[in-house]
């Protein structure tokens, strides 16, 4: 009898969402091999060969082994990245590049594997200009948006649209006094614009006069929409003030959700919308690696089961 095909889970050590997904898969008798890119090569090894049927070989951790050609699915969460602290800067840069294109290339080329999501497709979808362009193309309402390095363009945008917010285009680690901080979404006034705008790219957007936010999580062919009631500009700054209600998306939204996924070849995403006083859903962003499990205890929505079904490749 053939051994059950494993699910690979690629993530960092501290990932509570991965923990509950792995627990659910274990309860179903689905084998799981979990690892982090930072484990390579001291606690993660690979031996892959190229055949006419694609990649073959083994991936091993200290406690688990996976046959590459038999991988059922790969859940790509939040790996911490390759690291070679014992090497000097130049050798570390070389080793990291080899690891990325070696191990990374193997993991991106598994035959017959369902990716949730494929790391390259995640990379494509993480570019906010690409996401906003795709959102407009599939029919979502997108607030007027400016990406610029020109102070005069930013001033003209504020004069035209009035209430404007600034959003970081990405969120790398940012430390203040040794403490990790997040660059938050914030309102921007005309007086805030100075020549510092020319230092890098900035994203400005007209603020939606919202009554609520909506987080829509798409897991395979399941759509979970949750209204988030709060009075915050960015609800992620204080979860204690949030109230959650499952909702049904308005007509046309679900079709646009799947059209968006198809453009990036994704099977799981977390969308954020703002709902204005007329009930219109405005697209804000889409995260191809977004958090989702915290909503299940709050709403009772069967999101964990949906994710496990997807990774198990269990038909509904």
Digit-coded pLDDT (tens) for 135-175: 999 999 999 999 999 999 999 999 999 899 999 998 776 67
Q: Are residues 197 and 253 in the same domain?
A: no
* Residue 289, domain CATH: 3.30.470.20
* 189 shares a domain with 228: no
pLDDT digits (tens, 9 = 90+) for 22-74: 999 999 999 999 999 999 999 999 999 998 888 999 999 999 999 999 999 99
Q: Are residues 192 and 228 located together in one domain of the fold?
A: no
Same domain, 14 and 68: yes
Query: Residue 314 domain-assigned?
Result: no
Residue written as token pair 């988030």: 228
Q: Are residues 226 and 158 located together in one domain of the fold? A: no
Q: Give the structural domain span for 163.
A: 144-206
Q: Are residues 47 and 69 in the same domain?
A: yes
The answer to whether residue 197 sits within a structural domain is yes
pLDDT at 182: 72
14 in the same domain as 112: yes
263 and 283 belong to one structural domain: yes
Q: Could you tell me the pTM of the whole model?
A: 0.92
Residues 150 and 172 in one domain: yes
Dihedral angle computed from the Cα positions of residues 156, 158, 162 and 167, in that order, rounded to the nearest 10 degrees: 150
Query: Does residue 316 lie in a domain region?
Result: no
- Which residues, listed in sequence order, are joined to residue 212 by a DSSP beta bridge? 275
Whether residue 226 is contained in a domain is answered as: yes
Give residue 232's pLDDT.
83
pLDDT, tens digit, for every residue of 79-90?
999 999 999 999
- On whether residue 313 sits in a domain, the answer given is no
Q: For residue 50, is it within any domain?
A: yes
The tally of domains found in the chain comes to 3
CATH of residue 165: 3.30.1490
54 vs 48: CA distance, rounded Å: 10
Query: What is the rounded CA–CA span in Å between residue 4 and residue 167?
Result: 45
Of the listed ranges 124-138, 144-158, 170-184, 227-241, the one predicted with least confidence: 170-184
In a domain, 137, yes or no: no
């Amino acid at each position: 009898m053939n051994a059950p095909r494993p699910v690979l889970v690629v993530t960092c050590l501290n990932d509570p969402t991965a923990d509950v997904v792995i627990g659910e898969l274990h309860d179903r008798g689905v084998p799981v091999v979990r690892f982090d890119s930072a484990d390579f090569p001291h606690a993660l090894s690979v031996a892959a060969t190229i055949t006419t049927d694609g990649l073959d070989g083994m991936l091993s951790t200290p406690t688990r082994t996976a046959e590459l050609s038999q991988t059922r699915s790969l859940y790509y969460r939040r790996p911490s990245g390759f690291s070679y602290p014992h090497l000097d800067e130049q050798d570390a840069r070389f080793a990291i590049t080899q690891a990325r294109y070696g191990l990374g290339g193997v993991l991106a080329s598994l035959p017959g594997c369902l990716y949730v999501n494929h790391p390259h497709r995640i990379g494509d979808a993480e570019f906010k200009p690409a996401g906003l362009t795709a959102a407009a193309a599939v029919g979502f309402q997108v607030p007027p948006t400016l990406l610029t390095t020109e102070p005069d363009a930013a001033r003209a945008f504020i004069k035209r649209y009035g209430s404007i917010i600034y959003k970081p285009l990405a969120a790398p680690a940012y430390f203040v006094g040794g403490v990790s901080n997040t660059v938050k979404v914030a309102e921007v006034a005309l007086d805030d614009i100075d020549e510092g705008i020319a230092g890098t790219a900035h994203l400005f957007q007209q603020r939606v006069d919202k009554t609520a936010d909506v987080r829509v999580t798409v897991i395979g062919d399941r759509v979970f929409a949750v209204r988030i009631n709060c009075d915050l500009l960015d609800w992620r700054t204080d979860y204690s003030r949030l109230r959650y209600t499952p909702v049904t998306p308005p007509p046309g939204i679900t079709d646009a959700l799947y059209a968006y996924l198809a453009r990036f070849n994704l099977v799981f995403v977390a969308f954020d919308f703002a709902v204005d006083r007329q009930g219109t859903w405005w697209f804000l962003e889409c995260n191809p690696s977004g958090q989702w499990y915290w909503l299940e205890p709050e709403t009772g929505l069967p999101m964990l089961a949906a994710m496990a079904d997807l990774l198990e490749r269990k038909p509904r």
